[in-house]
């Protein structure tokens, strides 16, 4: 049997944790199964999809977003797995509203299994869960550099302070833009760009971090907080993981917001919910410590590149490609 591994090859300038994980998984399989021929193919350079010749169902149609996909394919029968790091998986799988972009589903008949740490929601306000069947895996930080820096800072055991306000860097869309545009003084929202090391250094000094849903239901800030051993406040997650992330055990979840509200009222109530939870958590140092320990333990067992690869080894069954 010949197995094709499609993923964008990582490099010094492209150190996405997901791509490094794909590379490690490939070399593991190559060593573990010497009787199978494993072929490593750079997804972004593949010529399998030609818009003038191929049909709209090709799984290579979205190779301009190749950071988001790892495809493991039986070269003979074309059965395949997809490990998706896409924050809009429903568009690829055809669960959208019928627009041209969202009709471009892949060849799902030959897709034997989908593995994803996020991206199954169908809209960006309430993050309604889609109908896509997927196998839960684990969530990663964005870049290897971030993982390395986080580990160094955690081991240094830097003294942390409880921030006066919920701190968040990055804005431009959705709830983040709302906070910026309304100039909500209860939050410390910063939109200027800084070097990734400076960003991690900032977070490491604060005992409480927040994550705000963005294009996906979860962002790298959740993983960053866990990696640094900080207490995290965020909305309750609906997406599942191989090892569950439990609200008010691994992170403090804000109260649920009514889905009957229009977007501006929804965001206003969400801002209140963040502040309520932040004020509650920061008064309880034992709870901050409790969340910090549990979040860090989950990260060590699930959120590093090595831990992520180990979970992939457990859940991927190559026999399904026969």
Distance CA 160, CA 291 (A): 14
Q: Are 181 and 235 contained in the same domain?
A: yes
* Cβ-contact 277, 289 below 8 angstroms: no
Q: Among 239, 206, 225, 221, which Cα is nearest to 294's?
A: 225
Q: Are 268 and 253 contained in the same domain?
A: yes
- Output the pTM of the full model: 0.93
Q: Are 105 and 158 contained in the same domain?
A: no
Distance CA 218, CA 89 (A): 14
Q: Are 73 and 151 contained in the same domain?
A: no
* Cβ-contact 309, 252 below 8 angstroms: no
Torsion sign across C-alpha atoms 91, 94, 96, 101: positive
- pLDDT band of 121, cuts 50, 70, 90: confident
Q: For residue 213, what are the CA distances in angstroms to 8, 171, 314?
A: 26, 11, 29
* Cβ-contact 80, 73 below 8 angstroms: yes
Q: What is the DSSP string of 9-61?
A: PP-SS--BHHHHHHHHHHHHHHHH-TTSEEEEEEGGG--S--TTTS-TT-TTT
What CATH number is associated with residue 155? 3.40.50
Domain count within the chain: 2
Q: What is the mean pLDDT of residues 121-127?
A: 85
220 membership: H or E segment, kind and range: helix 220-228
Residue 92 pLDDT exceeds 60: yes
Cα radius of gyration rounded to whole Å, the chain: 20
Q: Which region among 30-34, 40-44, 249-253, 265-269 has the lowest average model confidence (pLDDT)?
A: 40-44
Q: Are 30 and 102 contained in the same domain?
A: yes
- pLDDT band of 55, cuts 50, 70, 90: low
Give the distance, in angstroms, between the CA of residue 54 and the centroid of all CA atoms in the same chain. 30
Q: For residue 301, what are the CA distances in angstroms to 32, 118, 138, 225?
A: 22, 18, 9, 15
Q: Are 232 and 188 contained in the same domain?
A: yes
- pLDDT at position 98 is 43
With tokens 């939050």, the residue in question is 187
Q: Are 28 and 170 contained in the same domain?
A: no
Residue 101 pLDDT exceeds 70: no
Neighbours of 29 (CB within 10 A): 17
Q: What share of the chain in percent tops pLDDT 70? A: 92
Average pLDDT, the chain: 91
Q: What share of the chain in percent tops pLDDT 90? A: 73
For residue range 26-37, list pLDDT tens digits in order.
999 999 999 999
> Under 8 Å CB-to-CB from 196, ≥6 apart: which residues?
143, 145, 146, 149
Q: Are 180 and 259 contained in the same domain?
A: yes
Distance CA 142, CA 156 (A): 22
Q: Among 59, 227, 62, which Cα is nearest to 138's?
A: 227
Distance CA 69, CA 59 (A): 10
24: left (phi over 0), alpha (psi -120 to 50) or beta: alpha
Q: Among 35, 5, 37, which Cα is nearest to 21's?
A: 5
261-264 contacts at long range (C-beta below 8 A, 24 or more positions apart): 263/125, 264/178
Range of the domain at 77: 2-140+307-321
Q: Are 126 and 181 contained in the same domain?
A: no
For residue range 136-169, list pLDDT tens digits in order.
999 999 999 999 999 999 999 989 999 999 999 8
Q: Are 123 and 154 contained in the same domain?
A: no
* Cβ-contact 138, 311 below 8 angstroms: yes
Q: Are 10 and 37 contained in the same domain?
A: yes
Q: Are 82 and 126 contained in the same domain?
A: yes
């Amino acid at each position: 049997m010949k197995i094709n591994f499609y993923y964008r090859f990582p490099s010094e300038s492209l150190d996405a944790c997901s791509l490094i994980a794909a590379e490690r998984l490939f070399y593991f399989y190559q060593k573990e199964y010497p009787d199978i021929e494993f072929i490593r193919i750079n997804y972004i350079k593949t010529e399998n999809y030609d818009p003038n010749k191929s049909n709209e169902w090709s799984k290579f149609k979205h190779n301009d977003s190749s950071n988001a996909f790892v495809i493991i394919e039986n070269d003979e029968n074309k059965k395949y797995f997809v490990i998706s790091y896409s924050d809009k998986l429903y568009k690829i799988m055809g669960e959208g509203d019928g627009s041209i972009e969202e009709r471009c589903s892949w060849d799902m008949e030959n897709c034997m299994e989908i593995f994803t740490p996020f991206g199954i929601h169908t809209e960006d306000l309430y993050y309604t869960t889609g109908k896509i069947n997927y196998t839960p895996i684990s969530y990663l930080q964005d870049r290897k550099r971030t993982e390395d820096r986080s580990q160094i800072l955690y081991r240094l055991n830097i003294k942390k302070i409880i921030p006066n306000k919920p701190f968040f860097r990055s804005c431009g869309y959705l709830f983040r833009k709302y906070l910026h545009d309304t100039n909500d003084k209860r939050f410390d929202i910063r939109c200027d760009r800084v070097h990734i090391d400076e960003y991690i250094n900032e977070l490491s000094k604060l005992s409480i971090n927040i994550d705000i849903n963005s294009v996906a239901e979860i962002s790298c800030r959740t993983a960053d907080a866990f990696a640094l051993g900080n207490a995290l406040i965020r909305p309750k997650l609906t997406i599942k993981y191989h090892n569950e992330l439990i609200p008010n055990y691994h992170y403090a979840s804000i109260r649920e917001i009514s889905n009957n509200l229009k977007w501006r009222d929804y965001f206003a109530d969400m801002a209140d919910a963040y502040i309520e939870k932040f004020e509650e958590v920061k008064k309880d140092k034992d709870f901050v410590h409790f969340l910090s320990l549990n979040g860090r333990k989950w990260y060590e067992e699930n959120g590093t590149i090595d831990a992520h690869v180990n979970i992939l080894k457990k859940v991927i069954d190559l026999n399904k490609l026969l």
